[in-house]
Chains A and B, each alone.
Chain A
Amino acid sequence: MEKSKLRIIISISAVIFFLITLHYIGWLSPIEHLLRGIVNKGAEPIYQVSVLDNNIETDTHIQIENLTMQLEILQEENQELQKQLLFFSSTPYEHVGAQIIGRNVDPVANTIILNKGETNNISIGNPVITEEGILIGKIAKVEKDTSIVRLLQDGQSKIAATIRNEEKTIGLIEGGYGLSVQMNTIPQNQNVDIGDTVMTSGLEQGIPRGLYIGKISEVQKEAYQPFQEAIVIPAIDSRTLHIVSVITQEALSQ
């Protein structure tokens, strides 16, 4: 390689490593805060439009007036809040309510951005639920005022789960299969049927037992494989959500 090209690569790498160092020592945080503020301002209205778009059932062209759109958003948020309050009134979990202000900015990831963070006692690994205790994902990254949730459908998502059948089958829910998820490591000798309910098993630190995930839509059983696999349809479409709740770590350790 030419010396000049090598010199260019080294100097650019040095600049990037300098930026990375500034980030980890905290000197970049004012700039990061400013940039996040700019992005969040724009992301929130775009996200609200995308949720409304996903909730429209007819495929005819609809002209949405600004006030009608805001009213619909408020009504949906109200319904979501009521269902979540109902869930928490019968469970001992402490939680933090958060508004979704955006979705994945990297095409590879399947994440949502919340408007609550470290200052609200949210930490990495906290489960995120909606409605009547339906799990949608886990907190993957926390900043001061925002946090990022890795959804169940994300390719790197793994959740310990159990099936509500006679054998109380346990397995691992993994994402990366489009809109559905797959339950892996199901022992061959367990009876798994289409329509069985899947929920969290409580075997994973930080995630309580009994959070609803979805229902089995297909079972893949090959005699030569050590484990079965099941396709699970999540109970809720995360693209239609406005408000979620984060079950905080402190309550779970009590």
Chain B
Amino acid sequence: MLRFILKTIILILGIIALIFLHLGVSFLLPEPINKINIIITFITLFIVIRETGVVIWISLILHLFLELYAVTPFGSILFPSVIATLITYWIHRDVLTNRSWYAAAALSGIFLLIYRIGYTLIASASQILTTKHLTINYTNLAKTFLWEMGCTIILVTILYNILVLFIKRLQKTIIYS
């Protein structure tokens, strides 16, 4: 019981720390590096390292924080991000099953692709329903998404290669033994 309470407290503190790290990256880094999505980086690495379904609920809580400050209708970030987390988790479990930096990079790219397609569809649909016309500049949105994807994939790759030095289950000597 105590262990569960301690784990929950650590999880809550970890989530808050991650949110502040995400804010720090967003506020402090120059354009376009501030497009890095720290939350998706963390979720991807969590999927590859821990391989547990609890990542879905962690993703829900993290994106709920982001939802509070989004200018799009409530749910435009939450729904696609959680579904993207679920699909990415299944892809890692059934398709990209190897623990390698390129699998982690591919998973983060797939996550962002599913997430941002869902986000764009929901944002477009809500605009059509509320204002009856579409004023979203898709070209600019696509450019921003590509920058976000590129920067996040690079960060995931770098962090994965650093984590390999410290986490035994990611090391090739353990995997091949």
Contacts and interface: CB of A to CB of B under 8 A. Distances in A.
Tell me the interface secondary structure of chain B in the complex: helix
Interface of A: 5, 8-9, 12-13, 15-17, 19-20, 23-24, 32, 35-36, 38-39, 42-43, 46-47, 49-50, 53, 102-109, 111, 113, 140-141, 148, 150, 155-156, 158, 174-179
A155 B141 contact: yes
B68 interface: yes
Interface in B9-35: 16, 19-20, 22-24, 26-28, 31-32, 34-35
Contacts of A17: 75
Interface in B39-73: 56, 60, 64-66, 68-71
B137 A35 contact: no
A111 B82 contact: no
A104 B26 contact: yes
A17 B83 CA distance: 12
A106 B70 contact: yes
Contact of B83 (A12, A32, A47): A12
A19 B13 CA distance: 22
Contacts of A103: 26-27
For A35, A105, A108, the residue with the greatest tally of chain B CB atoms inside 10 Å of its CB is A108
B60 to A, nearest CB: 7
A106 B78 contact: no
Interface of B: 16, 19-20, 22-24, 26-28, 31-32, 34-37, 56, 60, 64-66, 68-71, 74-75, 77-79, 82-83, 86, 90, 116, 119, 135-137, 139-141, 143-145, 148
Contacts, number: 124
Contacts of B26: 103-105, 107
B28 A16 contact: no
B71 A111 contact: yes
A39 B19 contact: yes
B128 to A, nearest CB: 14
Nearest to B135: A158
30 contacts: A9-B86, A12-B56, A12-B82, A13-B83, A16-B79, A17-B75, A19-B64, A20-B79, A24-B74, A36-B68, A39-B23, A39-B65, A39-B68, A42-B20, A43-B20, A46-B20, A46-B23, A102-B23, A102-B27, A105-B66, A106-B77, A107-B35, A107-B36, A107-B148, A108-B148, A111-B69, A148-B69, A155-B144, A156-B136, A179-B31
